[in-house]
Amino acid sequence: MGNVFEHKLAAIEQLISEGLTAARVAEILTLIEAPPVSEQVLEHMKIYSDTLPNPRGGETPFSPQQRFLHFLWDVFDKLPLSLVVPFSIPFRRLLAAHLFKRCGVAFIAEENVRFNFGQFLEVGDNVFF
């Protein structure tokens, strides 16, 4: 079964590395066994963090890439696959590596942890949330 998870994670890493678009997010949703969301909705969505004041003052609009990463992080926590440890820990670590300013090795975040401004977050090695 590990090969199934490794295949999914490799495919997701490739999609993220190519730069997230609505179409690629839709592909990732399929890979994580989430209900489909139309590309039109994905292109026009706002996320929870868009409604919060910037912790550093002023405006900090999220790039489409950041918005998609936050969306995937939040969606994942509502799926049964989020409770499958051999997939969930590496998946969240993969997202964190792209979402955070810095993400150390062996980072673990359990379900229902939200990082509203991950682009400012520097996480060291062996951190567990």
- What is the arithmetic mean of pLDDT over 66-87? 94
**pLDDT, tens digit, 9 for 90 and up, residues 34-47:** 999 999 999 999 88
Domain boundary assignment for the chain:
2-48+61-123
Question: pLDDT at position 62, please?
Answer: 83
Question: pLDDT at position 110, please?
Answer: 87
Q: Where do we find the tokens 């919060």?
A: 52
Regarding predicted confidence, which is higher, 52 or 22?
Answer: 22
Question: pLDDT at position 87, please?
Answer: 96
pLDDT above 70 as % of the chain: 94
